[in-house]
């Protein structure tokens, strides 16, 4: 088992290196220059602008040749330094990201987990129950086919504007500052509800359809058929099918949790919710190389951790994988 | 008479029409008898054996009657059939190598299956050990997952599972087809032993390889395109086959030791007809070297001598 994980670890390290390098490169291939964009907003005179630009380029190290910048990037990365944000200058990127991560996790983890659990339960229940399936399946399809933006805006309009029950922007009111008081928590939950609901609804259909199809596939598999031939009750056959259908769903869940940090750009834009997704959008608009790199770094790390978790879970739940590891039995 | 099948018709309902996979088939099986059922691929052998344990769409019951130990089987009634499944009729399916849940240890799967059928695992445990020995499996397979076993081992495990409750009728569907010649013999012998030890009362041994039947079957039924075309004791059918199809089948047998499927039925030109709305008359007429006008009508399966039935106008009713 040790050998299996060592090999995996090596693959992860290589992937990490490649992905992070690509993330370093991509913003630099975008047309335009971040410093010019920054100064453009200040509307300086031409000569002054040139001077300022030169100054900032030196500060950010953007005047150096590309290979130097690349080496610098890795050396500071090892020191845990992701540079200074250009757009939110002079905040360090690590701090900018650290500030927004709780909002991401607080929104996405409940939304993904709830939709996953509810979707799996309902999908499995509806599979092969003809009447129910006939009613519920179209609903799932409508849910997944709904363009996310459209749904989010609709919810914001109905519950926020028309009914005025929920606020539609920010993670909490400007008037109060984050604390662990009851009033803040209530305020936070009120802001949290609509973004959560929109994410929940949109993902629910996908999980339910996936589970339904997997269950039907398993119920049609030879082993289910044989159990039926031997007169095993439906309950036992469904229990086996459910367990086997869960395996791909677990992969799906871990992958979703992996892209969590980037997963909700749409929500965060519609509801101006201050997470990484929203941050990334701003960073791209301002060509903030360092912030883009930082955001992507988190996404890459998230995906890799998620994949690692999948590997571990699979070793635990799927005997076929467990035994594929050099013949050792667990 | 342990089993009697009368005018059994099992069709597949498809979008393009009905596939007449088992059409008006009648025969008997005596107690302690091994009936070999042979015929080319697609002639309805699996349809027959599956229909006795699990008749569900697209398979459709179109008529007929099957009696087991004097009781009529409620084939079309999925629920009522459950009393018979496993306890009285059991199947070793053609897909035996994939018939076990891949994520359950075999022993645990058996325990759960038995519990669901109201049989206590601990009571049957010693018998299980004995039978594992009969098929040359170590007790340790109970603690393994199906994928840890070779295909042949999995198949033998299924053999043990299928017969655990001593069924009156066991249907063994192509259990030797995927094995090499020497293993084929061993597996066939195991089944004979099961019968000799009274673990199963009667056995239908399905195969497309007639040569294996010489060794184990008491009687042989030849199927062609959904019909039973000839039934006779094994010796009789090999020495004096009457139906033109059986004759070709037996004369085209390769020498012993040559893998059968590679040279299968080289002597018979053409292919069997499709069973979706087949043409009227004898279903073998397109390929039959001795057909004549009468063959446009369907030949009945008739007794030509004691214990020997044939469905061919050349052999019966020539005077009628
Ligand atoms: N699910 C199905 N739907 C429609 N037709 C089917 C279905 N299953 C089988 N058939 C048809 O029924 C006929 C009999 O098939 P069956 O599987 O019983 O043949 P077989 O004798 O067992 O062949 P083999 O030796 O290949 O196992 C074939 O013509 C086949 O095309
Ligand atoms: S009935 Fe006619 S076509 Fe059919 S096998 Fe006999 S002779 Fe041939
Ligand atoms: Mg078959």
CA-wise closest residue to A151 among A261, A256, A266, A259:
A266
Select from B117, B148, B162 the Cβ nearest to the Cβ of A323. Answer: B148
Q: What pLDDT digit, counting tens, does each position of B52-61 carry?
A: 999 998 899 9
Q: Are A212 and A124 in contact (CB under 8 A)?
A: yes
| CA distance to partner chain B, nearest, from residue A240 (Å) | 7
Residue A220 shares a structural domain with residue A135: yes
Residue A180 shares a structural domain with residue A40: no
Which residues from chain B sit within 8 angstroms of residue A244, using beta carbons?
Answer: 101-103
pLDDT band at A39 (very low <50, low <70, confident <90, very high): confident
- Write the Ramachandran bin of B3: left for phi over 0, alpha for psi from -120 to 50, otherwise beta: beta
CB of B86 within 8 Å of a chain A CB? The answer is: yes
Do the domain assignments include residue A171?
yes
β-pair partners for B253: none
Domain residue extents for chain B: 3-88+167-255+268-319
Q: Are A114 and A107 in contact (CB under 8 A)?
A: no
Q: Could you list the residue range(s) of the whole structural domain that residue A61 is in?
A: 32-81
Q: Answer yes or no: is pLDDT of A272 > 50.
A: yes
Number of independent structural domains in chain A: 2
Select from B95, B117, B145 the Cβ nearest to the Cβ of A319. Answer: B145
Residue A215 shares a structural domain with residue A119: yes
Do the domain assignments include residue A5?
no
Residue A115 shares a structural domain with residue A62: no
Which residues from chain B sit within 8 angstroms of residue A318, using beta carbons?
Answer: 103
> With a threshold of 0.90, does the pTM exceed it?
no
ipTM score of complex: 0.91
Give the torsion sign (CA, A54, A58, A59, A62). Answer: positive
Residue A63 shares a structural domain with residue A107: no
pLDDT band at B115 (very low <50, low <70, confident <90, very high): very high
Nearest CA to ligand 2 atom 1: B312
Q: Are A303 and A296 in contact (CB under 8 A)?
A: no
Q: What pLDDT digit, counting tens, does each position of A96-108 carry?
A: 888 888 888 888 8
Q: Answer yes or no: is pLDDT of B260 > 60.
A: no
Please classify residue B52 by burial: count the beta carbons closer than 10 Å to its beta carbon, then call 0-12 exposed, 13-18 middle and 19+ buried: buried
Do the domain assignments include residue A261?
yes
CB of B112 within 8 Å of a chain A CB? The answer is: yes
- The pair of structure tokens assigned to A194 is 């609509």
- Which bound ligand lies closest to the C-alpha atom of B229? 2
Does 3.40.50.300 match the CATH number of domain B3-88+167-255+268-319? yes
Residue A239 shares a structural domain with residue A309: yes
Residues within 8 A of B (CB atoms), A 18-37 only = none
pLDDT of residue B254: 52
Residue A72 shares a structural domain with residue A219: no
Contacts of B216 (CB under 8 A, 6+ apart): B34, B36, B188, B189, B191, B192, B205
Nearest CA to ligand 1 atom 3: B12
Q: CA nearest A330 in B: which residue?
A: B144
| CA distance to partner chain B, nearest, from residue A88 (Å) | 53
Do the domain assignments include residue A4?
no
B17 Cα: distance to centroid of ligand 1 (angstroms): 15
CA distance A277 to A273: 9
CB of A230 within 8 Å of a chain B CB? The answer is: yes
Give me the helix-helix angle, B106-116 and A234-258, nearest 10°: 130
Q: What pLDDT digit, counting tens, does each position of A159-197 carry?
A: 888 888 888 888 787 777 777 788 888 888 888 888 899
pLDDT band at B48 (very low <50, low <70, confident <90, very high): very high
Q: Looking at residue A180, which CATH number applies to its domain?
A: 1.10.3720.10
């Amino acid at each position: 088992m040790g050998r299996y994980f060592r090999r995996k670890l090596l693959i992860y390290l290589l992937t990490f290196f490649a992905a992070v390098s690509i993330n370093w490169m991509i913003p630099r291939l975008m047309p335009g220059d971040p410093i010019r964009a920054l100064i453009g907003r200040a509307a300086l005179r031409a000569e002054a602008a040139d001077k300022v630009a030169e100054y900032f380029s030196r500060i950010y190290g953007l005047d150096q040749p590309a290979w130097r910048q690349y080496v610098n990037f890795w050396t500071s990365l090892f020191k845990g330094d992701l540079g200074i944000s250009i757009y939110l200058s002079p905040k360090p990127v690590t701090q900018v990201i650290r500030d927004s991560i709780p909002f991401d996790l607080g929104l996405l983890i409940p939304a993904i987990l709830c939709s996953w659990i509810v979707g799996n339960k309902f999908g499995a229940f509806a599979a092969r129950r003809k009447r129910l399936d006939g009613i519920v399946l179209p609903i799932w399809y409508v849910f997944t086919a709904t363009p996310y933006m459209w749904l989010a805006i609709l919810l914001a309009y109905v519950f926020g504007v028309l009914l005025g029950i929920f606020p539609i922007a920010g993670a909490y009111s400007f008037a109060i500052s984050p604390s662990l008081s009851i009033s803040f928590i209530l305020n936070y939950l009120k802001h949290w509800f609509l973004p959560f609901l929109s994410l929940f609804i949109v993902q629910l259909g996908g999980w339910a359809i996936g589970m339904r199809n997997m269950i039907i596939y398993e119920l049609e598999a030879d082993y289910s058929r044989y159990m039926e031939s031997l007169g095993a009750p439906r309950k036992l056959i469904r229990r086996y099918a459910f367990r086997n259908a869960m395996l791909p769903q677990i992969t799906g869940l871990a992958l979703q949790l992996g892209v969590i940090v980037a997963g909700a750009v749409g929500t965060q834009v519609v509801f101006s919710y201050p997470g990484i997704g929203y941050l990334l959008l701003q960073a791209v608009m301002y060509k903030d190389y360092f912030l883009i790199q930082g955001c992507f770094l988190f996404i890459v790390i998230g995906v890799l951790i998620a994949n690692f978790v999948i590997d571990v879970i699979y070793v635990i739940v799927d005997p076929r994988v467990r035994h594929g590891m050099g013949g050792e039995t667990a | 008479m342990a089993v009697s099948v009368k005018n059994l018709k099992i069709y597949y309902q498809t979008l393009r029409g009905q596939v007449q996979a088992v059409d008006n088939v009648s025969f008997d099986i005596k107690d302690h008898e091994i009936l070999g059922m042979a015929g080319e691929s697609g002639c309805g052998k699996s349809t027959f054996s599956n229909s006795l344990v699990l008749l569900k769409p697209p398979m459709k019951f179109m008529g007929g009657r099957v009696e087991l130990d004097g009781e009529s089987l409620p084939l079309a009634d999925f629920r009522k059939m459950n009393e018979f499944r496993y306890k009285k009729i059991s199947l070793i399916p053609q897909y035996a190598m994939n018939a076990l849940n891949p994520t359950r240890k075999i022993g645990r799967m058996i325990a759960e299956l038995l519990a669901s059928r109201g049989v206590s695992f601990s009571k049957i445990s010693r018998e299980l050990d004995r039978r594992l020995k009969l098929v040359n499996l170590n007790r340790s397979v109970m603690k393994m997952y199906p994928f840890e076993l070779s295909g042949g081992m999995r198949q033998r495990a299924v053999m043990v599972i299928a017969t655990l409750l001593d069924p009156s009728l066991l249907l063994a569907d192509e259990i030797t087809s995927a094995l090499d010649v020497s293993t084929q013999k061993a597996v066939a012998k195991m089944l004979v032993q099961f019968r000799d030890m009274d673990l199963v009362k009667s056995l239908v041994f399905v195969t497309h390889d007639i040569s294996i039947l010489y060794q184990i079957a008491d009687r042989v039924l030849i199927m062609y395109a959904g019909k039973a075309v000839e039934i006779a004791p094994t010796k009789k059918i090999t020495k004096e086959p009457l139906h033109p199809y059986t004759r070709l089948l037996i004369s085209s047998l390769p020498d012993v030791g040559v893998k059968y499927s590679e040279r299968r039925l080289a002597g018979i030109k053409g292919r069997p007809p499709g069973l979706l709305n087949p043409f009227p008359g004898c279903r073998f007429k397109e390929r039959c070297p001795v057909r004549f006008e009468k063959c446009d009508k369907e030949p009945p399966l008739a007794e030509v001598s004691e214990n020997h039935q044939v469905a061919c106008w050349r052999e019966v009713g020539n005077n009628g």
